[in-house]
Amino acid sequence: MAAKKRDNGEGSIYPHRNGFAAYAWVTTPVGKRTRKYVYGKTRDEVHDKWIKLLAQAKEHPIPTSTPKLGTFLRYWLEEVIKPNAAPLTHATNETFVRLHLVPALGDLRLPKLTVSRTQRWMNELARTCQCCFQGKDARRDAKRQRCCARGACCKALLSRRSLSDIRACLRNALSQAIREELVTRNVAALIKIPKVVGQRRARKRKRWTNAEAKAFLASAREDGDPLYAVYVLVVLLAMRKGEALGVPVDAPNFRTEELEVDHQLQRVGRQLLHRETKTEASEDTLPLPPMAAVALKQRAERRKQDRVRAGDEWQETGLLFTTRFGGPIEPRNLNRSWNARCVKAGVPRITVHDGRRSCGSLLVELDVHPRVIMRILRHAQMEVTMEIYSEVSTEVARQALRKLNDSLET
């Protein structure tokens, strides 16, 4: 019986170097009709690859060449992330790509990035001292070198959170590769984050009680702290650090007793950027409680006085919270002032962001409805609010258990 004649577009199998090769006509993602080749040591091996290629060509476009991961990541950063994401998001992802992804995986072509290969990379990344790998100690002057450059590795391992963020960066990039039909699956979504040897579980973040928050604000008010109004916005209105420092001069409306929240001050590399808030959900108009209204009026008046004293040296930025000469306040300086105020007020030292979280916890203890707390904290998802709502203070838990104890006693 004569062999069945191949249909047009099926291509053929033929001897090639030390084995065999085959091609099939495919349509590329840009609509071009061209040949796609497969290779193998035996005819049967090539035949199986060829049949698979023919089936794929009928289902979707097939790229005839794929870039290396490093090339694709640079394209992704420049053409996808930079035009569409916040500057800090671009800067963070660029750091992950430059330090962790390109050195280890950059020379692999996208189809060669398998689950097993990616998992081995992640496991190795979790075991790698970043001081050694990045040469941090080696870059110091010889007199200042103290660990890895002297042969005493400091074991500066990445945290699980950092490992998760790096994986998320690769996963997002490969999602774009799938959309562009360069790969068919996202291997980064299939790998696991290993446990980091020697690292403890992350401790629960601290929060203030009502009395501690009251003592902190009272201390700042009594001392005439120039950042008192910032503290009030964080603790009373749950504003993020960048949002509080980025409040425009015209944001407070004292007639309607409202505050427009739509900007933030953000450090990206060597720049301080005054830009829109993190997400659309973060933008809102919040009611101004009396304490906040008084604090912001005092701050506005103090700003006018600073402007008069600075004279020609005043730098107009349009910000409500400024230095004596009108410049933006460095976020790290706020951290230092906040920490110093914690010590002076005699309250537990927590971060500025934990001050915002304290606001959520205090609202929970006042039995405020979760939907209202979600509005005040400007969360995009109720799940995030419920995480705070479900975390109650030790004293509240103690009272609840005392009630249960009393009900069970005979």
pLDDT in tens, 374-396: 888 888 788 877 776 556 556 66
Q: What is the overall mean pLDDT for the chain?
A: 87
- Answer yes or no: are the C-beta atoms of 221 and 229 closer than 8 Å: no
DSSP state string for 324-378: TTSPBPPHHHHHHHHHHHHHHHT-----HHHHHHHHHHHHHHTT--HHHHHHHHT
Total residues belonging to the chain? 410
Q: What is the pLDDT of residues 219-233, one digit of tens each?
A: 999 999 999 999 999
Instruction: Give the pLDDT band of residue 297 (cuts 50, 70, 90).
Output: very high
SS3 content of the chain, % helix, strand, coil (to 5): 55, 10, 35
Q: How far apart are CA 50 and CA 83, in angstroms?
A: 40
Q: What is the pLDDT of residues 73-84, one digit of tens each?
A: 999 999 999 999
The region of weakest confidence among 194-198, 234-238, 243-247 is 194-198
Q: How far apart are CA 91 and CA 86, in angstroms?
A: 9
Residue 98 DSSP SS3: helix
Give percent above pLDDT 90 in the chain: 49
Q: Which helix (H) or strand (E) holds 260?
A: strand 258-261
- Answer yes or no: are the C-beta atoms of 389 and 364 closer than 8 Å: yes
Residue 40 DSSP SS3: strand
Rounded alpha-carbon distances, angstroms, from residue 37 to 51, 108, 380: 12, 19, 48
Q: Looking at residue 262, what is its pLDDT?
A: 87
Crossing angle, helix 87-96 and helix 160-179, to 10 degrees? 100
- Answer yes or no: are the C-beta atoms of 393 and 401 closer than 8 Å: no
Structure token pair of residue 328: 């933006």
Burial class (CB in 10 A: 0-12, 13-18, 19+), 305: exposed
Q: Looking at residue 9, what is its pLDDT?
A: 44
DSSP state string for 275-298: EE-SSGGG-EEEE--HHHHHHHHH
- Asked if residue 199 has pLDDT above 80, the reply is no
